[in-house]
Structure 1
Amino acid sequence: MKQNEQAFRNELNHAIDFDKVLSQFAAKTSFSLSRQRIEQALPSQDLFMIREQLDLVRDSIEFFREGSTLSLQGCSDIEESVRKSEKQMTLQPKELAEISLFLSTCHRAINALQDTDLDKLKEYSNSMERVHDLQMAIDSCIDLSGAIKEDASAELIHCRNQLMDIRKTLNERTRDFIKKHNASLMESLTTSIQGRVCVLVKAGDKNAFGGMIHGQSQSGLAFYVEPSSFVPLNNQIQMILSKIETEKARICQELSMFVKRNSQSLLSDLETMTLLDVAFAKAKWCLEKDGVVPQIQKRDHTLILENAGHPLIDPKKVVRNTYRLQDAQKALMITGPNMGGKTVTLKTIGLFVALAHAGFPVAAHRALIPYYDSMWFTIGDQQSIENDLSTFSSHIQSLSKICSQSNQNSFVLLDEIGNGTDPQEGSALAIAILDHLIQKGCTVLTSTHFNALKSYGKTNAAILVASMQFDEKTLKATYHYIPGVSGASYAFSIARQYHLDASILEKAQAIKEANKDQNSQELEKLERLQNEVEQEKEKFDQLIQKAHQLQREAVSQKQKWEKAKKRFDQEYESRLETLLQEKEEQMEKLYEEMRQAQQIKPHQRAKYLRDMDALRFNQEEGDEKESFSVGDYVQIENLSTHGEIIELRKKEAMVLANGMKLKVKTNGLKKIRRPKVQQIPQSHREHTDKTFSSVPLELNIIGCRVEEGLRALDHYLDQCVAHHVKQVRIIHGMGTGRLRNAVLADLKKHPAVKSTASGGPREGGLGATIVELK
């Protein structure tokens, strides 16, 4: 922006609480550099950079909405360490460990983003360098706590082994010394003074063992003595420790040079990770606040904020409103009572404009914002004791600056314009200033209580007059924004609520009426009518919203049941397919057993056939319910018989089975194939024709009397024997059972019959008998 940066920052923070909102974003960052980047953010004039940031935020939001996750914990500001390496300074092990952890986080980010279809995130991912060799080199020498590993180099391993051996020798020598000179010691323990092993010797014997005296106890009765036998070993330990420190310094120096060689890549990755962390913080805030990434447009001055709520207000209490300014509407004038939400509305719109130009999302469901190259804010008391300025003087000073420096791409926010002086002069001044700014082409947001200013706004097509709704019955603000309606101040009503003396209020009302001109009276009437209409409209809108909600719930329930039905159908089909597959496997097994049988007995053959028919029958049961019509041949499941449908009535059917008419429910029927039955000619029954012809494999004697049926059976069996038929089916039906029993008895006595078995489900069941002939 064109204003001085620090003064502009102070203006934003004072007017629209810009810093407090930025703190919400900063709290969602992963490391200090990105947090600092957000806290120092300001609206920009660079439209390309603004859109670049907003596009990155948009992709980040989509990344999280897809269910992807990426933690940038582990990032830290390594710039100072990298700059030190560039100056050939040796980095400390902890600094090197931070660089390794940073690179590990970079690798995690690259891996998470390299397969994404989101262009901006993929572009940033592709711009990063892994610097894998540097990370491996650091990890091989330094552990996670920032200490150099004992096996970081061959020299360190050698020194540590030497140190262990010497300390072992020293420990043995100290034990021998303590055991031998225990009477001269104050205690049977050793101690370490500046890394050298000593013993606490009684004062009288301090010079008895040679070596060095390192000090005395507080009582003066004992001295810390390093006996001469300890000195060579202590000296060797100190030399090895010095070698170890020298080797550690060499390792750190070598790794620091490695960092220097990759400094540009590290700094580039740091910048990319900072931008990603900032974008992710913005995306998390946007999702939490149910917000949106704004669109910045240069086409015209149309401004749209749908369902916008101030982010600093408790989400459970905030009232979301929709604000619109068409291209021809250069100014928005908000009216209404004090504490009605006028200032909050101005701050919300101003805040969202500033956030959008700083590359941040906003707490709205849609945001279309014109591009502005300068922003001006005057909100609150501008009184300055230091500069000897009153509130009005300071206000006028700000207005003078805005009027001279603003242009057609300026956004101007003026709270209570013209306030702080004589109402008539203040109104006139406010009208003149607004007219000047509108002529310049600025986008102006203002609030007022002045009737003259309201009248001016109502008659100017470039000004949208709006108000904040106020409930006259409860005398409480609803904080609902109402475009196109000017609002009354309700000063007397509010004063009455706070128990101001009634006589004072009556006198004030009388003075107001006496001084009120015709225009003011008409304006107040219009305001009351508008408020009444708006209240009715709001009630109607609530009813419409409720109806829409009920409709959405009904649609949601319908979709829910449709999904459930689809799921159940899929489960049913899956279970049916599994069942059919099992039955097919069982049938294949039966066929295989029959094929492999060398000499299959008749009763086993009959059993195999019945089992296969049962499997087929069970498969058919898995099908969907069928519709029936007259003439269908069906199986009566609960009677184990079959027949033809001769009559249908709703859910009942008349079935002709075994010569009998049976009335059954259709849900107990199953369509089957009609048996191919060849009737025995009547001449056979009457034995009028004794000649033998080709013999059918079935004999149907349903409907015959017992004697007639047995005669036909005997004649039929004679033909079968003569023609060497080995297996036939006798269809006798169930009926009363007399014919069936007689047939079975006759077959048992017949010399040509080898065995008998009841028919399977597809062979007539108990209504037929399978006969195996000799």
Structure 2
Amino acid sequence: MNDKILYQLEFKKIIEQLSEKAETSLGKDFATKITPSSNLSEVQKWHDETDEGVQVLRIKNHVPLGGITDIRPHIKRASIGGMLKASECLEVASTIYGSKQIKKFVEALEEEEIQTPILVGWCEQISNLNNLERSIKNCIDDYGQVMDGASSKLRTIRSQIRSYESRIRDRLDGYTKSKSQMLSDAIVTIRNDRYVLPVKAEYRGSFGGIVHDQSSSGQTLFIEPQSVVDFNNKLQESRVEEQHEIERILESLSSLVYEDADYLHENVRALQQIDFMFAKAKLSRNMKASKPTMNQEGRILMRQARHPLISDDEVVSNDLEIGEDFTAIVITGPNTGGKTVTLKMVGLCTLMAQSGLQVPALDGCEMAVFDHVFADIGDEQSIEQSLSTFSSHMTNIVDILDRINNNSLVLFDELGAGTDPQEGAGLAMSILDYVISHNARVIATTHYPELKAYGYNRDEVTNASVEFDVETLKPTYRLLLGVPGRSNAFDISKRLGLSDQVIDKAQSMVSDDSRSVENMIASLEESRNKAERNYDEAAKTLGEAEAYFDSLQHEYTQYLAKKEQYEQKAKEKAQRIIANAEEETKEVIEELKQLKNQESVKEHHFIDARKKLEQQKEGLQDAKQPKQSTKSASKKIEKILPGDEVHVATFNQSGHIVQQVNEQEYEVQLGIMKMKVAKDQLEFVKRPEKEKTKPLATVKGRQVHVKPELDLRGHRFEEAINKLEKYVDDAILAGYQQVSIIHGKGTGALMKGVQQFAKGHRSIKNYEFGSANEGGTGVTILKLK
């Protein structure tokens, strides 16, 4: 892949995003050098790495890569005998520590039985180097300073330095107190690494010593008094000794780095790979991308694919496929409709996939590994070469045609544009034929109406278009495969206010063939939209059916579980009853034996004993005799009618017959569901009795068939309100002045519904809760007009 195609498809922006996801400079450096590969096995290996990183992030959400830096320049300088700075030695130690942390992290994943073979392989290349890390940490603190304890000599030297500094300050502090009027400021300062006092110029002779500096005005002299010159000299000598000792320590540490140079290089390479791996994984998570299945047959299949560089709130997802049933796609449609975006999306996703990056599409997508990706997109006019737009495009196309093979992806934007329409259309079809003859994959966008029929005459080609909403006069950016774009000029002009007279005359100038093509395209669009609507409705219905099935299956599973529990409890209860009965029987027998030995036995003794035995017999029969099931208790009847209560053997549930579907099937209401059930699975239970008409109350000397109260408990809300509405009408006709509505307390929803109904009914004067003996807040009294 040359730099030109990477620039045209904006692959550099993907690299920038990838580099930002890296935690270390090592990973960033690796990300900036990423390039697409045409080797299938290599690309598949890269995708396995990325996918493993995605899985780890999904489970752990982070990877410990802190403290790791690019120490390769430090290793190189140490290897040629150079001395590392204290801060550079500290970076080496910090990187060693970071490598140990990542190893611990991977070991923890293994303990949790999370499979990460690639990560484990890289971590096996990392050496701990504890001795080198410890040697550096014993000499250098977290701020990159050599510590006193780095050597006994350094500790002694620094102790001397602090002693000299203390003495000098004590002497100079005495001057600031005793001769403060001679000083510009009563402080001790430093010039040329020596402690001095800011003395007024007129008092120069009062101090003696050495003048190291003066103020810009000349009014202040920075003098080192004679009494501290010797101490300052000794201080400087100690500082020189300190620097020599620090250098010796750093040289020693540098030599240790050199000794472990090979191990450090291996560590750095492994850490770089790990950071790069998780940078790819983070980019994938950010783009909501998925791992593509790679092939070398030129097959691309993406569902709900999105352009990687367009934000989520603006991007439009599209389905796209090529390489299976056809090898070329010709996209037509209006300007700014999304044709070029679609073209770049395919090219950019291909480059990403061939670089081991996941693509922003649904799971199950397929991408091809091409030898070459060619593109002619945008205005490549060259002012320096004095080329026109057409010439510039044609120069690029000539170069593409010279280099294509059967494993190439070619992207043409506005093919044949910039010249005479008829010649441009002919040239475009000829170029497409040439590319197709080489069995390359090609996607082209065009405005030429001649190319709309191009796909119908060639099996390898399919038409596509970008949808345009005539109502809003805006593109929807949806790609429609198999449907060529149609001209919307007349519809748009009409909506913008152009008179019918002008539009009719314009339509009369269009050839019959063109009108037929436009009508055909319109019919295809309508059919496609209808099919999509039907698919959405079918998918929605399927989802609801699956939800009902899952709910029913869950309830049936719960029923079976409870059934086993109840049977177990019944068995345990029966066993207890039997055990008690046996114990009672033994006691009765023993009691009778004792009575037999006595001289006189009263009759009531036998009566009591017989009564106890009869009670145990009854209890024993109750324990052993199982309760009659619904099915066994059901009755047989030759003909089942709507409304009959039946038992469905398949689901072990009772329901009501809605209607007879045919001779072998009935529609049955089971709870909230209606189901078709075979006749042989139904068991008749009972038939509802017909209500007998009889007077229920006497109002104003006449008998009426309406009760003065209505019980709504146990009804669903909508059913209860419908029943209430009918009841109130009947009560008014019956001449009642007030009626009682029993709704119960419960959640209060039914109570609120009754009172809301009462507020809006024109024949109800007011309402109130019942008294304590009438049911309280569980009853509402309606006052009727």
Normalised to the residue count of structure 1, the TM-score between the two structures is 0.71
- C-alpha deviation, 1:356, in angstroms: 0.9
Report Cα offsets for 1:658-699 as digits up to 9, x if no partner: xxxxxxxxxxxxxx97653334787986x896299xxxxxx9
Counterpart position of 1:282: 280
Counterpart position of 1:493: 491
Change (3 A) 1:624 1:682: closer
Counterpart position of 2:458: 460
Aligned-partner Cα distance in 2 for 1:195–1:167: 12
**Contact conserved, 1:213 with 1:223, CA < 8 A, in 2?**
yes
Aligned-partner Cα distance in 2 for 1:227–1:278: 62
From 56, 60, 63, the counterpart of 1:67 = 60
Trace 1:520-531 onto structure 2 (pairs within 5 A).
Answer: 520-531=514-525
From 528, 532, 537, the counterpart of 2:531 = 537
Trace 1:123-272 onto structure 2 (pairs within 5 A).
Answer: 123-178=121-176, 184-218=182-216, 220-272=218-270
Aligned-partner Cα distance in 1 for 2:553–2:242: 73
Change (3 A) 1:628 1:106: closer
- C-alpha deviation, 1:237, in angstroms: 0.9
From 676, 689, 696, the counterpart of 2:586 = 676
* Corresponding residue SS for 2:239: helix
Aligned-partner Cα distance in 2 for 1:453–1:380: 20
- C-alpha deviation, 1:502, in angstroms: 6.0
**Contact conserved, 1:403 with 1:437, CA < 8 A, in 2?**
yes
**Contact conserved, 1:186 with 1:222, CA < 8 A, in 2?**
yes
Counterpart position of 1:80: 73
- C-alpha deviation, 1:168, in angstroms: 2.6
- C-alpha deviation, 1:141, in angstroms: 1.7
Counterpart of 2:201, as a letter, is A
Report Cα offsets for 1:180-230 as digits up to 9, x if no partner: 656655554332222222233443442344321223345544432222211
- C-alpha deviation, 1:178, in angstroms: 4.9
Change (3 A) 1:503 1:632: same
Trace 1:291-440 onto structure 2 (pairs within 5 A).
Answer: 291-298=289-296, 300-365=297-362, 366-440=364-438
Aligned-partner Cα distance in 1 for 2:549–2:140: 61
Counterpart position of 2:752: none
Moved more, 556-565 or 269-278: 556-565
From 17, 32, 45, the counterpart of 1:24 = 17
**Contact conserved, 2:473 with 2:492, CA < 8 A, in 1?**
yes
From 44, 47, 50, the counterpart of 1:51 = 44
Q: Number of aligned residue pairs: give it.
A: 607
1:12 aligns with 2:10: no
Counterpart position of 1:483: 481
* Corresponding residue SS for 1:296: strand
Aligned-partner Cα distance in 1 for 2:339–2:25: 37
* Corresponding residue SS for 1:230: helix
Aligned-partner Cα distance in 2 for 1:285–1:56: 13
Moved more, 337-346 or 526-535: 337-346
Counterpart position of 2:570: 626
CA RMSD after TM alignment: 3.8
Counterpart of 2:492, as a letter, is I
- C-alpha deviation, 1:33, in angstroms: 3.7
**Contact conserved, 2:292 with 2:367, CA < 8 A, in 1?**
yes
Change (3 A) 1:109 1:494: farther
* Corresponding residue SS for 1:313: coil
Aligned-partner Cα distance in 1 for 2:257–2:556: 61
Counterpart position of 2:599: 690
Aligned-partner Cα distance in 2 for 1:24–1:46: 24
Moved more, 241-250 or 205-214: 205-214
Report Cα offsets for 1:331-357 as digits up to 9, x if no partner: 122223333322222221111111111
- C-alpha deviation, 1:129, in angstroms: 2.5
Moved more, 177-186 or 166-175: 177-186
1:548 aligns with 2:542: yes
Q: Which runs of 5+ in 2 are unaligned?
A: 617-785
Counterpart of 1:444, as a letter, is V
Aligned-partner Cα distance in 2 for 1:66–1:183: 73
Aligned-partner Cα distance in 2 for 1:61–1:338: 38
Aligned-partner Cα distance in 1 for 2:591–2:357: 98
Counterpart position of 1:90: 83
- C-alpha deviation, 1:534, in angstroms: 0.4
* Corresponding residue SS for 1:214: strand
Counterpart of 1:29, as a letter, is A
Higher alpha-carbon Rg: 1
Aligned-partner Cα distance in 2 for 1:499–1:268: 73
Q: Which runs of 5+ in 1 are unaligned?
A: 2-7, 574-621, 636-641, 645-671, 693-698, 710-728, 734-774
Aligned-partner Cα distance in 2 for 1:689–1:422: 136
Aligned-partner Cα distance in 1 for 2:79–2:591: 115
Counterpart of 1:20, as a letter, is K
Aligned-partner Cα distance in 1 for 2:365–2:46: 16
